[in-house]
């Protein structure tokens, strides 16, 4: 995703309007709008203001998903999830735990089928 897409997503996750982000960051409203549309590139000082206001990592704001691997995308997702309230964090952790357990069980079953299948030949 582009900086504009990331910026809009992070803003919306906070439930903010562009005006809210403008006030929180000190970046002019029109500039926020242009950044979200990818009509302009920000100066470094603007990026710092946005990072502070959105309380996110540089990776989360600047990462282009088309240019990085799955591990970087997972890291960015975890950075975003870290901004959730504790109750929502517990839900995310529970989902991840259950999925990993199920995936591990599936791998175990596949390896047992392979072993059992060899013995039947």
Same domain, 78 and 107: no
Same domain, 78 and 36: yes
Encode pLDDT of 84-101 as tens digits: 899 999 999 999 999 999
Distance CA 56, CA 83 (A): 8
Name the residue range of residue 118's domain: 84-121
Same domain, 63 and 77: yes
**15: DSSP letter:** T
Distance CA 7, CA 32 (A): 9
Encode pLDDT of 34-52 as tens digits: 999 999 999 999 999 999 9
Encode pLDDT of 62-74 as tens digits: 988 778 888 888 8
Question: Per-residue b/e over 7-44, b at no fewer than 16 CB within 10 Å?
Answer: bbebbeeeebebeebbebbebeeebbbebbeeeeebee
pTM of the model: 0.65
Helices (H), the chain: 3-13, 18-25, 29-36, 44-54, 58-62, 70-81, 86-120
* Residue 83 C-alpha from the chain's centroid: 11
Please report, for the domain that includes residue 52, its CATH number: 1.10.260.40
Same domain, 12 and 35: yes
């Amino acid at each position: 995703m582009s900086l504009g897409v990331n910026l809009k997503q992070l803003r919306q996750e906070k439930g903010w309007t562009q005006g809210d982000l403008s006030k929180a960051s000190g970046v002019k409203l029109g500039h926020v709008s242009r950044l979200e549309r990818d009509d302009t590139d920000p100066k470094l000082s603007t990026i710092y203001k946005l990072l502070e206001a959105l309380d996110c990592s540089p990776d989360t704001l600047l990462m282009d998903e088309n240019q990085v691997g799955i591990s970087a995308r997972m890291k960015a997702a975890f950075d975003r999830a870290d901004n959730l309230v504790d109750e929502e964090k517990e839900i995310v952790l529970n989902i991840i735990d259950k999925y990993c357990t199920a995936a591990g069980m599936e791998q175990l079953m596949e390896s047992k089928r392979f072993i059992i299948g060899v013995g039947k030949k």
